[in-house]
Structure 1
Amino acid sequence: MSLSNLEGEYDHLIVSPHSLKQTCLALMDEQIQQAKVQKEAQILLKMNSLTDLDIIKKLQEASAAGVKIKMVIRGICCILPNLKGVTDNIEIYSIVGRFLEHSRIYCFGCGNQQKVYISSADFMTRNTEKRVEIGCPIEDENLKQELLEYFNILLRDNVKTRKLCGNGEYVKMDTSGDPFIAQEYCMQKAVEEADQLPGEEGISWLDKLKHWFQGA
């Protein structure tokens, strides 16, 4: 991609400053239309920050229409959930754990019609309008399901997660059940899967992962 060609045409990628924001707004509009005809509608988002006013207004519109919205926003978040008639259908969580995550996931829709993207862009004006950022659609169904499973794992975290309330305060999750830390779960899963891989250079993948985690 050349920086001198910011309005290039792409078959699959969504690219800011030209098409990423516009595409996401259009995908939110699709969910709004689904909700208006009483069909299941959903938006799932994971990123570091949410400050883009156009996107915030569209999320409010989607919530008011009945779209169910869940967001994992680690840092700055300029929209409040649970405001009557405006953001009733929005849930927002922040997870700050051992590792500083930078993954961004956008999901629009439900079931077979769900569209999933991974991206470099937070929903901030500096990312959506002033930088070159890329969103990539996930078309392989297995990969799509892995990302959705990962998102659900994040929502299970009841130790490192804080839930944003309508008054702007973050509160701890209910820990009356078994404690669950999403990052630790994913670390353990990675170690278990690595144990099944062949080693190289006399050092197993499992030992390499254990060494890396211990030093992190």
Structure 2
Amino acid sequence: CLITRVKNDVTQRYAAIGTGNFNEDTARVYTDHLLLTSDKKITNEVYKAFNFFNVNYRKDNYYHLVLSPFFLRNKLTLLIDNEIKNAKAGKKAFIYMKLNNLTDRELINHLYEASNAGVNIRLIVRGMFSLVTGIKDQSENIKAIGIVDRFLEHTRFMIFCNGGNEEYYISSADLMPRNIEHRIEVTCPIFDKNIRSELMQIFNIQWNDTVKARKLDASLSNKFVKSDKKPVHSQVEVYNFIKKIHEKSS
């Protein structure tokens, strides 16, 4: 969504970039993230993205947004390669992803390569999942869970360690060939430190779920995650976390 406001010959743009669409039928049961911003680095490129539908023979340059089907595969490859390089250099390296589906074979193989290099990979995937975790000399450093609960987990975001200078992205795309190669999808960097912190905390809350999370492993048994500690019901905890933030800001 893009709003353009002109006042006293000054143009101001506001963009809303989400991990899901505006759908009145699903709004009560789907959970998504949406960035509302007036940052020109983002809004000017959202304008370009919308303009593409008017002149789709012209592919503009983008320095912040990552559009499918043009740039996403290459961008993700570069981000994973960077984690591989840092892991091999003895630096901290991790990849955290929250997705609906992960089926793209090329990216899965690249994640295997990252695992073999020592990159710590955590995946939260609700739906289709073609990667096999915990296989010796293939995916020993990859762990994955899926959460199915009252609300449908529809958010997509990714966090890359980047040598300690973490990079955060929200995306409308799942890591499937159809989304990467055949659809217009937008992946957006998150620059605001507070929002980045919120995303990391939400990921950690969900990663530690012991009520609705199931292990996605080679056995395909999808067993619930068990713990002797106090139960963590992530959808409830995330709701309380976000509610607390808004209470502080109001």
- TM bracket, shorter-chain basis: 0.7 to 0.9
1:158–1:5 distance in 2 versus 1, CA, 3 Å: farther
Equivalent position to 1:183, from 231, 235, 248 = 235
Higher mean displacement: 163-172 or 133-142:
163-172
For residues 101-112 of structure 1, the aligned pairs below 5 Å read 101-109=153-161, 112=164
Equivalent position to 1:148, from 200, 203, 207 = 200
Report what 2:209 is aligned to. Answer: 157
Report what 1:38 is aligned to. Answer: 90
Question: How far does residue 9 in structure 1 lie from its aligned partner after superposition?
Answer: 1.3
Equivalents in 2 of 1:9, 1:111: separation in Å? 27
Higher mean displacement: 187-196 or 164-173:
187-196
1:136 pairs with 2:176 = no
Report what 1:56 is aligned to. Answer: 108
Question: Residues 105 and 118 of structure 1 are in contact (CA less than 8 Å); yes or no, is this contact kept in structure 2?
Answer: yes
Describe the superposition over 1:147-201 as per-residue Cα deviations: whole angstroms up to 9, x where unpaired. Answer: 1111001111100000112223211111422111111112233444555676xxx
> TM-score, normalised on structure 2?
0.75
Q: Flag structure 1 segments of 5+ consecutive residues without an equivalent.
A: 199-216
1:114 pairs with 2:162 = no
Greater share of strand residues, 1 or 2? 2
- Matched pairs, number: 198
Report what 1:93 is aligned to. Answer: 145
Describe the superposition over 1:1-54 as per-residue Cα deviations: whole angstroms up to 9, x where unpaired. Answer: 223157321121011000112101110000001111111110000010000111
Secondary structure in 2 aligned to 1:56? Answer: helix
Question: Residues 6 and 132 of structure 1 are in contact (CA less than 8 Å); yes or no, is this contact kept in structure 2?
Answer: no
1:22 pairs with 2:71 = no
Question: How far does residue 128 in structure 1 lie from its aligned partner after superposition?
Answer: 0.5
RMSD, aligned α-carbons: 1.7
Equivalents in 1 of 2:246, 2:110: separation in Å? 42
1:166 pairs with 2:223 = no
> TM-score, normalised on structure 1?
0.86
1:139–1:197 distance in 2 versus 1, CA, 3 Å: closer
Report what 1:209 is aligned to. Answer: none
Equivalents in 2 of 1:59, 1:6: separation in Å? 32
Equivalents in 1 of 2:188, 2:146: separation in Å? 24
Question: Residues 6 and 17 of structure 1 are in contact (CA less than 8 Å); yes or no, is this contact kept in structure 2?
Answer: no
Question: Residues 125 and 145 of structure 2 are in contact (CA less than 8 Å); yes or no, is this contact kept in structure 1?
Answer: yes
Secondary structure in 1 aligned to 2:198? Answer: helix
The one-letter code sitting in structure 1 at the alignment partner of 2:123 is M
Question: Residues 83 and 162 of structure 2 are in contact (CA less than 8 Å); yes or no, is this contact kept in structure 1?
Answer: no
Question: Residues 6 and 18 of structure 1 are in contact (CA less than 8 Å); yes or no, is this contact kept in structure 2?
Answer: no
Percent same amino acid among aligned pairs? Answer: 37
The one-letter code sitting in structure 2 at the alignment partner of 1:49 is N
Describe the superposition over 1:53-88 as per-residue Cα deviations: whole angstroms up to 9, x where unpaired. Answer: 110010010001110000000111001100000000
Q: Flag structure 2 segments of 5+ consecutive residues without an equivalent.
A: 1-48
